[in-house]
Amino acid sequence: MFVVTESVFSMDGDYPDLKALVELKQRFGFVLVLDEAHGTGVFGPTGGGLAEETGVLDHVDILVGTLGKALASMGAYVLTASQTVIDHLVNHAGELIYSTYLAPACAGAASAAIGRVQSLHTERQRLRKNAAWFRDELVKGGWTTNAFDSQIVPVIVGDPDRALALRDRLLEKGLLAGAVRPPTVPPNSSRLRLSFHSGITQDHLHELLELLNACRTV
């Protein structure tokens, strides 16, 4: 039996209780597969992801992630200590067998980014603090979001046309936000998907809040 989950979910920026999941694994003996695509660089003492932060990394059987996003390159990876899994992927995974190798420049960029990310503890703390603060301010302003602290911040508006109109209004002001609509998300949950980085300051967030509030009637 395989149990597969993301660490940080891409549309809501929420994340599962990995410690509880590991407790279930110890009871039922399944193979745990974890996708750290959105957790890498943001969570954990060295930016290793949510599994590192919650202390369950040794219990993850197969960890997958991307060299894009926080690592600013391209490509992806699978990490496992299981030779059985490695042999299976090498011999049966079409995505590996029929892919060209990663360009040396991309591999070098990702390697350099990993070294850089590991040292950015203060930046990680600031990023998550800003994300949590912004969520609180959204709720105070009457917007709908959630109570997590990841870099992915949803602003739920419900109506897909309104999400598009808000996106366009922000873009006119030089701010890029994704408008996500069904079927990517459930009906009546269209939203702006905001993705923060460590260079965003409180001043930027105040400006964004002012713009959102000014666009409330869109």
**CATH number for the domain that contains residue 34:** 3.40.640.10
CA–chain centroid gap for 204, Å, is 21
Check whether residue 6 and residue 111 sit in a common domain: yes
Domain with 187, as residue range(s), is: 121-214
Distance CA 69, CA 194 (A): 14
Band (pLDDT 50/70/90 cuts) for residue 177 is very high
Question: 216: exposed, middle or buried (C-beta count within 10 Å: 0-12, 13-18, 19+)?
Answer: exposed
Q: Are residues 72 and 169 in the same domain?
A: no
Q: Are residues 109 and 73 in the same domain?
A: yes
**How many C-beta neighbours within 10 Å does residue 156 have?**
18
The model's pLDDT over 19-75, given as tens digits with 9 standing for 90+, comes to 999 999 999 999 999 999 999 999 999 999 999 999 999 999 999 999 999 999 999
Contacts of residue 193, Cβ cutoff 8 Å, sequence gap at least 6 = 11, 152, 153, 154, 177, 178, 179, 180
Q: Is the pLDDT of residue 215 over 90?
A: no
